[in-house]
Structures are given as structure tokens and as C-alpha cells.
Structure 1
Amino acid sequence: MKKYLGLFLLLSSTHASAQTMYCVQTSRDLISELYRDYPVQSTKDLAGASRQVLRQYFDSHLVQLLLREQKCAAKVHGQCNLDFNILSNSQDVADDVAIRVLAANEHQAKLKVGEQILNFKMRMENNCMRIQDIEYQEIGRLKQILSRK
């Protein structure tokens, strides 16, 4: 019995720490973790990530829109509304692209990624900072793009 209780406690603590690992309180910390985990030069596609991964960075509404986009892309065997990397606003990113935080406050972070300006709107959800929307310089907001029929 002690053996099973110990295993349960070990798994529970591992699960709890995995959930809280991405619970940050500031917009700057969330952006830092996001770009560390999904560098724009890599082939890792954040928009195509699992629900569990998306929930680490985005609020529940944006997670639903991204999952709907994934289903649509799978159905048509291609692209639906997203034809760019949501973290760079481009299809191809140079290996030496510079990422600079231009401004960060309680519910917003403005970045320059290469030549693109991205404005992350954020909010607290379940006591963790989450991305609510991303405004792109020339093409509008991510929520608008994902909401197209």
C-alpha cells in the first residue's frame, strides 16, 4: 500500500509542477517563455500544437480558434486561414532574425520580430497570464484571421 501511495504522490507532484511550470504572472515572462520554447527560426509550429500546449500560452477562446484552424487544415489537407508563423508574421524567417521587446506592461507586449511589429494582448486566466490576441502590423488581429469562414 505504501508503495502505491508513494507512486501516486510522485505522479501527482510531477503533474502539478508540469501544470504550474507555464503559469507566469507577467506579459514579459510569458513572451520570454513562448519564444524560448518556439523560436521563430525553428520548424516547431505553435499554431499546430496540442490543446495542452496551446493552453500554456493562450486564453481559452484563442485555444478554441486555433484548434478549429487545425481541424480545418486537416480536412482540406492544407491551409485554411493561417499561412504564416503566428510568432513572426512571416512564412520564412532568416536564421539571424532579431527579436526585441519594444514595450511590455501588465496586459500587453509589443515586439519587433525582424521587420514585423507584433502586439500581444494578454489577460489573466486562472491566475496565469495568457495571450488573448495578437495584432499584426499589416494584416490585422489573429482572432479576426482565425474567425474567417
Structure 2
Amino acid sequence: MSSTQAFAHNISCVQSSRDLISELYRDYPVQSDKDIAGEPRHILRHYFDANLVQLFLAEQKCAAKTHDQCHLDFNILSNTQNVVDDTSVRVLEATEHRVKLKVGGQFIDFKMRMQQNCMRIQDIEYNGVGSLKDLLSIT
């Protein structure tokens, strides 16, 4: 690995669940058109564990094949289809492996784990919808 790659890898690794969620919402604000779920593998790997990355890639492949949405018909960071410009994001609780947010009127619970010494999102729970991993695993 070159020194540039090593530097880039170190800069993208956080060890706090709160820091990872802060980066995610900074890089993918809910009011923007940027959709983390549609990003390529190398971007997804910065935020999500290997299992969730594989599920996102399968979702992307399905959507490309059908030319439509497969399982995700909402923004995974807001749990809504349309976000209003003044939507607020507030951390309700942050522990070592969990961050609970209120995004607008929605409650979102991020479950985290360490993967290769970096914090990664393992799953996201939504009130009234269930688990992101379960949604993406529907066959």
C-alpha cells in the first residue's frame, strides 16, 4: 500500500459511533439529492459493515435490472421519500455501538460494530418499518 493510500485509509476510519453518524449526515445531508444507498462499494465501505455493503450492492443490481426501485423506496437517512428543507437531525442517545436520532418526525436507531478497527453501521432500525437489513434481505 502506498503512503497516499495509507493516509486516505486512516483519514476515513473513525472509532466512535457518534463520529461516524456525524460524518454520514455531513456527507449526505437529508435535504440533498445525494443518496448513500446508491453509492459504489468503496464509498459504502466507509460507513457500513461488509454484510450491509453486499445488501446495498444487490439492491443496486436489482434496481438496474428492473429499471425501478426494488426494496428501498425511501431515503435511509430520513425514513421518508421527500424531505423538507428545514428537517432537523438530533442525536437522542449515543453509546459505544448505537446512535438513536430524531430526523424530522422520524426516529432512527443505528446499530454499529467495529470492523477492522473502524466503526461501521451494522443495521438501521426504523419505527414502523423495521430493520434496513431485513428490508434489503427480502427475496
* TM-score normalized by the length of structure 2: 0.98
The answer as to 2:46 corresponding to 1:56 is yes
- 1:14 Cα shift? 1.9
Q: Deviations over 1:85-128 (max 9, x none)?
A: 00000111011100000000000000000000000000000000
The answer as to 2:45 corresponding to 1:45 is no
Counterpart-to-counterpart distance in 1, 2:2 and 2:29: 30
Counterpart-to-counterpart distance in 1, 2:70 and 2:10: 33
Partner of 1:7: none
Counterpart-to-counterpart distance in 1, 2:28 and 2:85: 14
Counterpart-to-counterpart distance in 2, 1:61 and 1:120: 15
Q: Deviations over 1:60-108 (max 9, x none)?
A: 0000000000000000001000000000001110111000000000000
The alignment-based identity, stated in percent, is: 67
Q: 1:23 aligns with which of 13, 26, 36?
A: 13
Letter in 1 for 2:61: K
Counterpart-to-counterpart distance in 2, 1:40 and 1:14: 31
- What SS does structure 2 have at the residue aligned with 1:88? coil
C-alpha root-mean-square deviation of aligned residues, in Å?
A: 0.9
- What SS does structure 2 have at the residue aligned with 1:101? strand
Partner of 2:66: 76
| Structure whose alpha-carbon radius of gyration is higher | 1
* TM-score normalized by the length of structure 1: 0.91
Partner of 2:80: 90
Letter in 2 for 1:111: L
The answer as to 2:26 corresponding to 1:36 is yes
- 1:13 Cα shift? 2.0
Aligned positions, number: 139
Counterpart-to-counterpart distance in 1, 2:33 and 2:4: 28
Q: Deviations over 1:25-75 (max 9, x none)?
A: 110000000000010111111000000000000000000000000000000
